[in-house]
Copies of this chain bind each other. A is one copy, B any other.
Amino acid sequence: MTTFPKTDKTSITRLPKRGSYDQALVYSILDEALVCTIAFVQDGEPYQIPTGFCRIDNYLYIHGSVGSGYMRVLAEQQAKVCISVMHLDGLVLARSAFHHSVNYRSVVLFSHAEKVTESNELYQSLEVFTNKVQPGRWEDIRKPSDKEWKATMVLKFKIEEVSAKIRTGAPKDDDEDYNLPVWAGVVPLNTERKEPIPDPAMRIAIPLPNYLNHARS
């Protein structure tokens, strides 16, 4: 098992049994998430922004407009960031208020911004991002023009100082509370892709692509 090194920042002090530094687990949590939040410091104060992302090997990639203020700040300062991702998998309904919880899988990553300038890497990052959002989509669509590339900034963040945290399974109550006449259990949560809605502006009748058929209810 490949694991990430534990550092002062990524040591899990609260409920350490929920923590993990396993590379495969960290990657799986990142790859399933469509958005992350990126926190950074500006003039000594905290900022954060939710954004889409993808992972290629040991880097996390985001893209945005060259006109985006925060992208420019991150790029120019090679700013330190803290990035988090969370999947909420279930509501854990215990017999006591105190032991209510949620089942989740989260990743917290410390890194710094690096601007991507090499054209193959730019192209690959957008392809991987697009096919992550919707597998099969990249092959089907008009690729970016030179003008669009000039308007796009891509940043990457090395995945090295990182930890995952997960909770799974049933509630854990205090021994004496198991005799209470209270229903206990888990309400699983799931993100559902629903029936695709065609753009009313489509000029010609185009059937739903095969790669979207799985999304039909």
Contact = CB atoms under 8 A, between A and B. Distances in A.
Contacts of A170: 197, 199-201
Contacts of A137: 93, 100
Interface secondary structure of A, over-half rule:
mixed
A128 to B, nearest CB: 12
A57 interface: no
A95 B142 contact: yes
A93 B136 CA distance: 12
A193 interface: yes
Interface in A122-168: 126, 130, 133-134, 137-138, 140-145, 148, 151-152
A45 interface: yes
Contact of A48 (B13, B37, B189): B37
